[in-house]
Amino acid sequence: MGISIVIPCRNEEKYISRCIDSLIASKYEGLEIEVLVCDGLSTDKTIEIVSAYSIKFDYIHLLENPEKYTPFALNKGIKESKYELIAILGAHAEVAKDYFKNALDFFKNNIEAACIGGVLENVYEDETSKAIGLAMSSSFGVGNAYFRTGSSEGEVDTVAFGIYKREVFDKVGLFDEDLVRNQDDELNYRVTKAGLKIFLTKSLKCKYYVRSSFTKLFTQYYQYGLWKVFVNKKHSTITSIRQLIPLLFVLAILLNLLLGLLFIVFFYFLIGILALYIAVAMYASLKFTNNIKAVCLIIYTFLILHLSYGIGYLEGIIRFVLFNKGVKKHHLKTSR
């Protein structure tokens, strides 16, 4: 059995070589693979780098994604792929040498699995990226996103960088090209809704280079919140309860702030909410480090994750649900 690996990318000259090198290293005798790098009109050296690999290795292919956005790249790669297993991967990722061997073994031993994924091991490049990575590895930061926290394995509702059986796409369709964000979560929602099973296994190890920008992190999670409402409206349901927590946090702040202008007691409520939040965030941070500066950076990251997602979700409710409006141009801007 072979595996097709689809990598959407744009302007990833810093990371794409390490990603492809890890795939080459994971290839072993008897394993057939193809690597489909779907480039969204990069303006750096990404195309040049991938082209050099494609000349040297006949199983590495460069595809053009003129629409630039991720779901178009993913669908183009899937349509061009030829094997029965299709792996989605990010340009910032590096797979372990036994990644695909373990994946094939898992599918062989768990025939009911439609999609599998592993746990991300964050790689940090500076203090900012470390704070971001640690916050995103905490259940306080990302809830029960087990592919980040690594706190559980087994049947789950979603994974990062899923490896899918081709029949999954035949049954539930491809990635939704209306979505700039959340396209993987939305697909996995359709997968589980169709009665198919997704599994997380710690045997699949994948390094992920964490971006070191609080501004880009805010944009990323703001868009996650906004587009989650778009997905919910499309499916006429809330796809997971955890998505509501940041919204409730933002609403609690806004409500107590506004009421505090009329009744001073609500300012005290607001102070209490924020004090409780900081206390829990500090407790979660101290599990990683007791360095004061690092703890402060992790707490700051928690605030960015929760406030940006909650603000985006609130805007999504107002825009998509209450006023039935469409997407604006700035909502399509990625954090890459």
Q: Where are the domains of the chain?
A: 2-211, 219-332
Judge if pTM exceeds 0.75. yes
Q: Are the C-beta atoms of 82 and 182 separated by less than 8 Å?
A: no
Structure tokens at 198: 């997704």
Q: Per-residue b/e over 274-305, b at no fewer than 16 CB within 10 Å?
A: eeebeeebeebbeebeeeeebbebbbbbbbbb
Q: Per-residue b/e over 100-134, b at no fewer than 16 CB within 10 Å?
A: bbbbbebbeeeeebbbbbbbbebbeeeebbbbbbb
- What fold characterizes domain 2-211? Spore Coat Polysaccharide Biosynthesis Protein SpsA; Chain A (3.90.550)
What Å distances lie between residue 68 and 20, 38, 156, 184, 267, CA to CA? Answer: 20, 9, 30, 17, 46
Q: List the chain pLDDT tens, one digit each, 336 residues.
A: 799 999 999 999 999 999 999 999 999 999 999 999 999 999 999 999 999 999 999 999 999 999 999 999 999 999 999 999 999 999 999 999 999 999 999 999 999 999 999 988 888 889 999 999 999 888 898 876 666 666 568 999 989 899 999 999 999 999 999 888 889 989 999 999 999 999 999 999 999 988 889 999 999 999 999 999 999 988 888 877 788 999 999 999 999 999 999 999 999 999 999 999 999 999 999 999 999 999 999 999 999 999 999 999 999 999 999 988 876 655 556 555
Phi/psi class of residue 7: alpha, beta or left (left: φ > 0; alpha: ψ in -120 to 50)? Answer: beta
Q: Which residue in 156, 161, 190 sits closest to 175, CA to CA?
A: 190
